[in-house]
Amino acid sequence: MSSEAINSTKPQNFISKKYLVISIALSVATMAGVIWYTYTPGVLTHLAPKRLPGLFIALLISFLRVWLSAAKIRFLAEKQIGWMASFRVVLAWDFTSAVSPSTIGGAPMATYAMNKEGMKLGSASAIVLYGVLLDQIWFAMAIPILLIFGVFYEVVPPEIGLVGEASMVLLYSLLLAYAGLLAYGVLINPAAIKKVVLFVFRLPLLRKYRDNIAIEAENLEEYAHQLRKKPFSFLIKAFVLSTMSWICRVALATVVILSLLPAPEILSALRSLAMNLAFLVVPTPGGSGGVEGLFVLFQGPLISRPSFIGLAVFLWRIISYYISIAFGMMATTWYINRSVVENQIIKD
């Protein structure tokens, strides 16, 4: 999309009310089903008060994940945007990802948000692309970790069967291949990204934007070249911020479970890592329905009292999903209001 087009685009165009309703409905329905099948009367009497403060730790971890993501965005932008702007970008990105199919994600909204925060469209696109690359490098490193620990732990639950194991192997292979291609395009041959973008904008529906997008593709390639010239320490610091953010995401499920009952900590964390990778291919908006099911499949067998499974799913999704939706909606509304004001100024 061209600079002119993205500036005239309304932020609400990146969000589908239908997907939002579907996402929440699937999540609520799945959690209700899990609670219905696992809940037994009097189960709450078995809660240990000394463990409940762990839920506050879970909230802190969730906030830390957002802070680390904002720090990564600000670092990649070389502090051209402030902390509040970085938080708005991350929250809007999270919100759009939570209510969009996994094939769409929140990257278009993140690019729009950074552009509205004062970044050039080409630079914003490159920063988002570079951020995605850092995530892919993390995934690529996580896979060997799971394979190594899989020798000693049942990282993949036996309940998923042969088909499930084959699906996990296929997922690992696809993630590694995608990480390799993205790394090649961003770190080795940025010109390839430009060629792909220009090729896509040869399509009939996008052809009218081709001249404008060519300028932005040049900016994207230029920024990618600038990133290549950065010292290796730049990549390392950005990768550390990205990795710490993902570690917080992975740790959240385990911390929530441990806030209710004892559980094998290492195995729970490893399974949380495996299921977070599996979340990437759940096709529903925000992964709703599928992620709750994967939580039950991966973490359920580790919960000593099955009647706590529904409660664990509920608390985990409240902290990891519904709070993100609430704050993300606030950030997105800020961009919507700003867009309305800007359009009004232009009309006047």
Query: pLDDT at position 285, please?
Result: 79
Q: How many CB atoms lie within 10 A of CB 96?
A: 27
pLDDT for 65 equals 95
Evaluate whether 336 touches 12 at the Cβ level (below 8 Å): yes
Residue 314's alpha-carbon distances to 102, 149, 166, 295, in angstroms, are 22, 28, 29, 11
pLDDT of residue 1: 43
**pTM for the whole structure:** 0.82
Alpha helix stretches (DSSP H) within 119-183: 121-149, 161-183
Range of the domain at 32: 3-347
The two three-digit tokens of residue 41, written as one number: 């009367």
Q: Pick the closest to residue 213 from 2, 71, 14 (CA basis).
A: 2
Q: Which of 135, 171, 138 is nearest to 281 (CA)?
A: 171
pLDDT at 252: 96
Looking at the structure of the chain, the number of domains it has is: 1
Q: How far apart are CA 22 and CA 26, in angstroms?
A: 6
Whether 35 and 307 have beta carbons less than 8 Å apart is answered as no
Instruction: State residue 7's pLDDT score.
Output: 47
Going by the DSSP 8-state scheme, the letter that residue 285 receives in this structure is G
Report residue 339 as tokens.
């867009």
Within 13 A of 138's CA, how many CA atoms are on the CB side?
Answer: 24
Q: Are 295 and 34 in contact (CB under 8 A)?
A: no
Number of H helices and E strands in the chain, helices first, is 14, 0
For residue 159, the 8-state DSSP code is G
Which DSSP string do the residues of 239-261 spell out, in sequence order?
HHHHHHHHHHHHHHHHHHHHTTS
Q: Buried b / exposed e across 290-316, counting CB within 10 Å, b at 16+?
A: bbbbbbbbbbbbbbeeebbbbbbbbbb
**Full pLDDT tens readout for the chain, 348 residues:** 444 444 445 555 566 677 788 888 999 999 999 999 888 887 777 777 888 888 999 999 999 999 999 999 999 988 889 999 999 999 999 888 888 765 556 777 888 888 888 888 777 877 887 888 888 888 888 888 888 888 888 888 887 766 666 777 777 777 777 777 767 766 677 777 667 666 666 666 556 656 655 655 666 666 667 667 778 788 889 999 999 999 999 999 999 999 998 899 999 999 999 988 888 777 787 788 889 999 999 999 998 888 899 999 999 999 999 998 889 888 888 887 776 555 555 555
Q: What is the pLDDT of residue 340?
A: 55
| 259, amino acid identity | S
d(CA 236, CA 317): 31
